[in-house]
Amino acid sequence: MRWSRRTRRPRAGRIARRPGRGLRGDEQVAGWLFVAPMIVVLGLFLLLPIGMALWVSLLDWAPSQGDPFAGGGEFVGTDNYSSLFVEEGLARQDFMTSMRNTFYYVVFVVPLQTALALFLAVVLNQRRLRARGFFRSAFYFPSITSSVAISMVFLFLFLNNGGVNKALGWFGIDGPPWFSDPTGIFHLALARVGLQSAPPPLAATEIGGLSVWEWLSGPSVAMCAIIALVVWTTAGTFMLMFLAALQDIPVEVDEAALIDGASTSKKFWHVTLPQLKPVLFLVLTLGLISTWQVFDQVYVMSQGNPDKTTLTPAYLSYTESFIGQNWGTGAAIAFVLFAIILLMTLVQRWVMRDRDRPRRARRTRRPEVVRP
Amino acid sequence: MRTTMRRTAAITSLALLASACGGGFEEGSSEGEGATSAEGNAALRVLIASSGDAETNAVNAAVDAWEEETGNTAEVTNSADMTTDLSKTFASNDPYDVMYIDAGRFATYADSGALYPYGDQVENSDDVYENLRETFTYEDELYCVPKDFSTLALVINDRMWKQAGLTDADIPTTWEELATVAEKLTTPEHKGLVLSPTRDRVGAFMVQAGGWIVDEEGTEVTADSEANTTALTYVQDLLQSGSTAWHTDVDSGWGGEALGRGAAAMTIEGNWIKGAMQADYPDVDYSVAELPAGPDGKGTQLFSNCWGIAAKSDAQEQAIDLVESLTSAEQQMTNAEAFGVMPALQSLQDEYAEKFPEDAAFVAGADHGQGPVSLPDFEPVLADFDSDLAGLQKGDPAAILESLQQNGEAALS
């Protein structure tokens, strides 16, 4: 019955799957055999460790207590998770601080690096530009250099008497002690307009162990240095993606737009940019994922200091586990981070969905293609 | 149907594989039993976190001598990242038999049953400084014997000292004198005193004021005491006067670097500074003095590593024998000469002070030194305290200590 109904209203792709011993019945075995090595590798090195970590996140466990799968550690249910969100204490305070820091970090890094990458790609895509190869390598260079090495260089640049502050000094600006200044830049801006300390209602109201005033601090001066570093290093990678997409855009479209009398800026916003949408989605997604997971730079440059304003969930997960020996909490943080990244990506997919051509309209207008 | 069956088969085999891998771990042997012993000659594995070639060579030589004497074998591995390697070794079924255990992390490992408490089976364990014995005692059992120890002292740049017109008579013995001297030593180019914003340096002032983060038994948090507030307020006054700064404020990685680069006239560091100064700043002349006394008299901080023996080791008897030979009075003096550490035995105090007169201030600290806080789950609490200390100059000492008190109590309960 169901079969006949399907044949009447076929959907693309579905019909190829035939049950039973058909023309391609034996291919299934071969198919599984071909996929088997990958399934084993993925299962062993991806699914299994994820499952193990999930189990550990439900335990009060340290490696010195023996095998967590043979009774080592105490099962505490979701205690590790509630210590991050509900229970008052240091764990929640640290976690929420890391959330705030990383939120500001993402909010600054993702738009900045995407804009910079796009700008560089558009510049490089101009046919009149000389020495394109040189600039392309130069912009891409930071991306292929080790992040630890670059972090070390930035550490020297941002010293109190380092290159950045000396350069600022030429313009008569007294640079801050970058990596020891925990003041948030929103707080600094508010101080400029005369709001030196927290207004009582903001200081008194707490969300997740941090006062609203603390939530609104913005990235600290130290975090700004890290933001600058990351924008500078990753923009090159994304520039390359934009560049590839730009070179895919047919010249005719550009010319047609010019003939129609579009100005350069109109052409960019209404002709070029819409065609870059899939790449923009890719760049934003990759950017979101990597920024939420920021670890190397913090590990090398600041270790969460000053005053925990560069603490990030990934780094906190590391310190909780390896240094604090609270592996359960560390694993729980990792899973919360995973959920956040998943959620952010879904939200972003939804925001960037194709609004111009709703599905229903497309289906009624176009005849469906029936594949053999 | 067939697809479903195959899928089930695939998942089952995956699950089987998973359980097979999970079987790699096994439960450790329970503690409290007598020492395990290998049949015949034992093959021990030793994990150390060496401070440099000198230490690695000295340990290797000592282990070789023991191998020759007993017929057992022991393989020494040097770890670049001790916390990670210890986590790995304790999680495995076949851990290193003997390893360095840091005093600050000791309780975490002892609490989880990863260490075999052998301390009292070692002959000269009574000779170990009382403070150090306490540091490595958990629930009334001496778990391991220290290999050596370090204390904090005031390290002074001789040239700057003379330039400021100071003499030996001016070496500070009280807090007031320290503040005065730091003021005099401060110039636009360098600070009078530079130290690190951590409980491992500022804590010395707490000891001198008669306070500490926990009580003597290590069962109660005593952070918000009057004495601790006095200590932090004093350090805050130093910072606010401009004569003193954190090492981060003078672009240095630690106090020794600040002293060596001439950014500081004085710093508070341990005896490890000797090796660093020799290697990196051989031209800088410096001398070492005891830390000044506070309202409660003299006080300093004590750091140490002990030789831990794994609870899961299957040759504990041989391991104890190895540790005994590594911590013998003779060996500890050899180590002192080889890589500049201080022997952890009281009977060697005079001999050491005679041989290394320039270290008299460090070794004197053994009598009034306070070991690190060593409680399970305390690491994040102390890290939070450190991060608060960095903001001490503009902060409120009482509030900092109150938050330490609350977090500490939460961690202990």
Q: Would the CB atoms of A28 and B6 count as touching at under 8 Å?
A: yes
Quote the CA–CA distance of B28 and A66 in Å, as a whole number: 6
Using CB atoms, pick whichever of B6, B112, B407 lies closest to residue A64.
Answer: B112
Residue B99 neighbours by CB under 8 Å, 6+ apart:
B46, B47, B48, B86, B89, B307, B308, B310
To the nearest whole Å, the CA of B173 is away from the closest chain A CA by 31
Q: Which two tokens stand for residue A232?
A: 């500078």
Average pLDDT, chain A: 85
Residue B259 neighbours by CB under 8 Å, 6+ apart:
B155, B157, B194, B266, B267, B269, B273, B277, B281, B284, B286
Summarised one tens digit per residue, pLDDT across range B349-362 is 888 988 888 888 89
To the nearest whole Å, the CA of A309 is away from the closest chain B CA by 10
Give yes or no for B18 touching A (CB within 8 A): yes
In terms of pLDDT, which residue wins out, B232 or A20? B232
Summarised one tens digit per residue, pLDDT across range A246-274 is 988 888 888 898 898 888 888 888 888 98
Q: Would the CB atoms of B251 and A162 count as touching at under 8 Å?
A: yes
Q: Is residue A326 situated within a structural domain?
A: yes
Q: What is the pTM of this model?
A: 0.81
Q: Would the CB atoms of B391 and A307 count as touching at under 8 Å?
A: yes
Residue A23 neighbours by CB under 8 Å, 6+ apart:
none
Residue A327 neighbours by CB under 8 Å, 6+ apart:
A56, A59, A61, A62, A63, A320, A321
CB atoms within 10 A of CB B330: 11
- Using DSSP bridges, classify how beta strands B145-157 and B264-270 pair: parallel, antiparallel or unpaired: antiparallel
Using CB atoms, pick whichever of A47, A307, A323 lies closest to residue B390.
Answer: A307
Give yes or no for A304 touching B (CB within 8 A): yes
Contacts A–B by Cβ distance under 8 A: 129
Q: Which residue of B has its CA nearest to A162?
A: B251
- Considering only CA atoms, which of B403, B346, B340, B395 is closest in space to residue B369? B346
Residue A46 neighbours by CB under 8 Å, 6+ apart:
none
Q: Would the CB atoms of B377 and A72 count as touching at under 8 Å?
A: no
Asked if A59 contacts A328 with a C-beta cutoff of 8 angstroms, the reply is: yes
- Considering only CA atoms, which of B404, B399, B386 is closest in space to residue B221? B404
Using CB atoms, pick whichever of B18, B109, B383 lies closest to residue A64.
Answer: B109
pLDDT of residue B246: 93
Q: Which residues of B touch A89 (CB under 8 A)?
A: 407, 410
Q: Is residue A15 situated within a structural domain?
A: no
Q: Would the CB atoms of A70 and B26 count as touching at under 8 Å?
A: yes
Q: Would the CB atoms of A323 and B83 count as touching at under 8 Å?
A: yes
Q: Is residue A362 situated within a structural domain?
A: no
Quote the CA–CA distance of B330 and B388 in Å, as a whole number: 43
To the nearest whole Å, the CA of A322 is away from the closest chain B CA by 6
pLDDT of residue A174: 86
Q: Would the CB atoms of A89 and B250 count as touching at under 8 Å?
A: no
Q: Which two tokens stand for residue B281?
A: 């700043």
Q: Is residue A57 situated within a structural domain?
A: no
SS3 state at B150:
strand
Query: Is the bond into A142 cis (omega within 30 degrees of 0)?
Result: no
Quote the CA–CA distance of B274 and B341 in Å, as a whole number: 10
Summarised one tens digit per residue, pLDDT across range A120-172 is 999 888 877 788 888 888 888 888 888 889 999 998 898 888 889 999 999 98
Q: Is residue A161 situated within a structural domain?
A: yes
Residue B309 neighbours by CB under 8 Å, 6+ apart:
B97, B98, B115, B116, B118, B144, B316, B319, B320, B323
- Give mean pLDDT, residues B38-66: 89
Is pLDDT at A3 greater than 70 in this prediction? Answer: no
Average pLDDT, chain B: 87
Q: Is residue A284 situated within a structural domain?
A: yes
- Considering only CA atoms, which of B195, B310, B211 is closest in space to residue B247? B195
Q: What CATH code is carried by the domain that includes residue A311?
A: 1.10.3720.10
Using CB atoms, pick whichever of B91, B380, B410 lies closest to residue A324.
Answer: B380
Q: What share of chain B is helix, strand, coil (3-state, %, to 5)?
A: 50, 20, 30
- Using DSSP bridges, classify how beta strands B191-195 and B145-157 pair: parallel, antiparallel or unpaired: unpaired
Best residue of B11, B82, B87 to probe chain A, by most A CBs closer than 10 Å: B87
Q: Which two tokens stand for residue A126?
A: 């101009």
Q: Which residue of A has its CA nearest to B404?
A: A90
To the nearest whole Å, the CA of B315 is away from the closest chain A CA by 18
Q: Residue type for B179, please?
A: A
To the nearest whole Å, the CA of B361 is away from the closest chain A CA by 32
Quote the CA–CA distance of A48 and A39 in Å, as a whole number: 11
Best residue of A27, A64, A298 to probe chain B, by most B CBs closer than 10 Å: A64
Summarised one tens digit per residue, pLDDT across range B313-337 is 889 999 999 999 999 999 999 988 8
Quote the CA–CA distance of A200 and A210 in Å, as a whole number: 14
Give yes or no for B373 touching A (CB within 8 A): no
What percentage of chain A carries pLDDT values higher than 90?
A: 37
Quote the CA–CA distance of A44 and A50 in Å, as a whole number: 10
Quote the CA–CA distance of A126 and B258 in Å, as a whole number: 51
Q: Which residues of B touch A52 (CB under 8 A)?
A: 22
Q: Which two tokens stand for residue A238?
A: 């994304």
Is pLDDT at B381 greater than 50 in this prediction? Answer: yes
Range of the domain at A93: 82-184+219-350
Q: Is residue A368 situated within a structural domain?
A: no
Quote the CA–CA distance of B61 and B50 in Å, as a whole number: 14
Quote the CA–CA distance of B404 and B251 in Å, as a whole number: 28
Q: Which residue of A has its CA nearest to B406?
A: A89
Q: Would the CB atoms of B383 and A319 count as touching at under 8 Å?
A: yes
List, as one string, the DSSP characters of B33-84: SPPP--SSS-EEEEEE--SSHHHHHHHHHHHHHHHHHHS-EEEEEE-SSHHH
Q: Would the CB atoms of B380 and A319 count as touching at under 8 Å?
A: yes
Give yes or no for B253 touching A (CB within 8 A): no
Q: Is residue A68 situated within a structural domain?
A: no
Q: Residue type for A33, please?
A: L
Residue A277 neighbours by CB under 8 Å, 6+ apart:
A352
Give yes or no for B240 touching A (CB within 8 A): no
Cα radius of gyration (chain A): 26
Residue B335 neighbours by CB under 8 Å, 6+ apart:
B55, B58, B147, B148, B341, B343
Give yes or no for B11 touching A (CB within 8 A): no
Best residue of B89, B386, B387, B400 to probe chain A, by most A CBs closer than 10 Å: B387
Q: Residue type for A257, please?
A: A
CB atoms within 10 A of CB B278: 10
To the nearest whole Å, the CA of A162 is away from the closest chain B CA by 9
Give yes or no for A47 touching B (CB within 8 A): yes
Q: What is the number of domains present in chain A?
A: 1
pLDDT of residue A203: 82
Q: Which residues of B touch A179 (CB under 8 A)?
A: 248
Using CB atoms, pick whichever of A66, A90, A320 lies closest to residue B407.
Answer: A90
Query: b/e per residue, A306-319, with b = 16+ CB within 10 A?
Result: bbbbbbbbbbbbbb
Give yes or no for A41 touching B (CB within 8 A): no
Summarised one tens digit per residue, pLDDT across range A184-198 is 899 989 988 887 777
Asked if B320 contacts B309 with a C-beta cutoff of 8 angstroms, the reply is: yes
**Helical spans, DSSP H, in chain A:** 2-8, 27-42, 48-56, 79-85, 90-124, 132-144, 147-157, 163-170, 185-192, 200-204, 212-215, 221-248, 251-259, 264-267, 273-275, 277-292, 296-297, 313-318, 327-351, 359-365
- Give mean pLDDT, residues A76-86: 90
- Give mean pLDDT, residues B178-203: 94
Q: Which residues of A touch B20 (CB under 8 A)?
A: none
Summarised one tens digit per residue, pLDDT across range B288-310 is 999 999 999 999 999 999 999 99
